[in-house]
Amino acid sequence: MQDGEKSGVGGSVDRVGVRVPPFYPAKPTLWFATLESQFAIANITQDATKYHYAISHLEPHIAELVEDIIEAPAASDKYERLKSELTKRLTASREKQVQQLLNHEELGERKPSQFLRHLKNLAGPGVPDEFLRSVWSSRLPSNVQTIVASQAAKSTLKELAELADQIMDVVTSTPQVAAASSHPGASESAQIAALTRQVEALSAKLDRMSRPRQRQTSHRRGRSASTRSLSSYKKFPNCWYHNKFGSKAHKCVQPCDYSGNAKGSR
């Protein structure tokens, strides 16, 4: 039985035509999958038949990408080689076109995360995160690039964008860091050092602000109430607590001459 033929009732043969879909330059893998579905319906299994069906439905500018394969086809696995090479070359061509498009885009006044979303919208579907990360990070300020690069191996692209937002907030809100970042003679290490110092300073300030004030106040009060003036002692040898509560007093303010007070002293 030949390709494109299926056995019918009573031994008759039905010929099934192949409906080749329009080629999808942006999604070659999808096009080949759809084409192979048509091959299965038509019971086409021969490599040469698949190969000729495929190349006969390529538009001229697409066929030029695999001109060498069409002019000198492989001795075997013609279809699979055509599929593999065309997919690879179209993907590389697509990334090159996207890169040329994105090369004109700048961060401007946007946050890094907003800029990343903008680039994704321009690039369209199917563009790898690694490619987008390379284009996106190259548009960030050099000091931010350095920190983002150090975290790239252990963070997703989304997490890197959030980190870049935080760094930019510190840089733009701090005069010392902003000045170091914009100074034409500032080295990258000086910019990073300035940013690091500022982050440490902000962390220390936050730590101080988070300490309980009540505890500090109580401590100061305890120290101020632990002693009394010499004139008060001469007038009242026993402290106020022992004078009022006697042996039931739970506190004592020095100096105190209360009888039996082991801590009393002049």
Contacts of 61 (CB under 8 A, 6+ apart): none
| Dist. CA 97–CA 124, nearest whole Å | 12
Return the HEC string of 163-226: HHHHHHHHHHHCHHHHHHHHCCCCCHHHHHHHHHHHHHHHHHHHHHHHCCHHHHHHHHHHHHHC
pLDDT at 214 over 60: no
Segment 75-85 shows an average pLDDT of 92
Most confident range, picked from 29-38, 97-106, 151-160: 29-38
Average pLDDT score over the chain: 74
pLDDT at 240 over 60: yes
Q: Do 44 and 12 contact (CB within 8 A), yes or no?
A: no
Between 253 and 69, residue with greater pLDDT: 69
pLDDT at position 207 is 53
Segment 80-96 shows an average pLDDT of 84
pLDDT at 187 over 80: no
Distances (CA, A) of 96 to 103, 127, 131, 253: 10, 11, 10, 83
pLDDT band at 27 (very low <50, low <70, confident <90, very high): confident
Segment 3-20 shows an average pLDDT of 56
Segment 213-240 shows an average pLDDT of 59
Between 258 and 156, residue with greater pLDDT: 156
Between 253 and 14, residue with greater pLDDT: 253
As given in the structure block, the two tokens for residue 1 are 């039985």
pLDDT at 220 over 50: no
pLDDT at position 54 is 93
Least confident of 70-79, 144-153, 180-189: 180-189
Least confident of 220-229, 240-249, 253-262: 220-229
Per-residue model confidence as pLDDT tens digits over 46-71:
999 999 999 999 999 899 989 999 99
pLDDT at position 183 is 53
Per-residue model confidence as pLDDT tens digits over 100-136:
677 777 888 888 899 888 888 877 766 778 888 888 8
| Dist. CA 96–CA 114, nearest whole Å | 23
pLDDT at position 197 is 63
Distances (CA, A) of 138 to 108, 144, 178, 180: 13, 10, 19, 20
pLDDT at 265 over 70: no
| Dist. CA 238–CA 255, nearest whole Å | 8
pLDDT at position 241 is 78
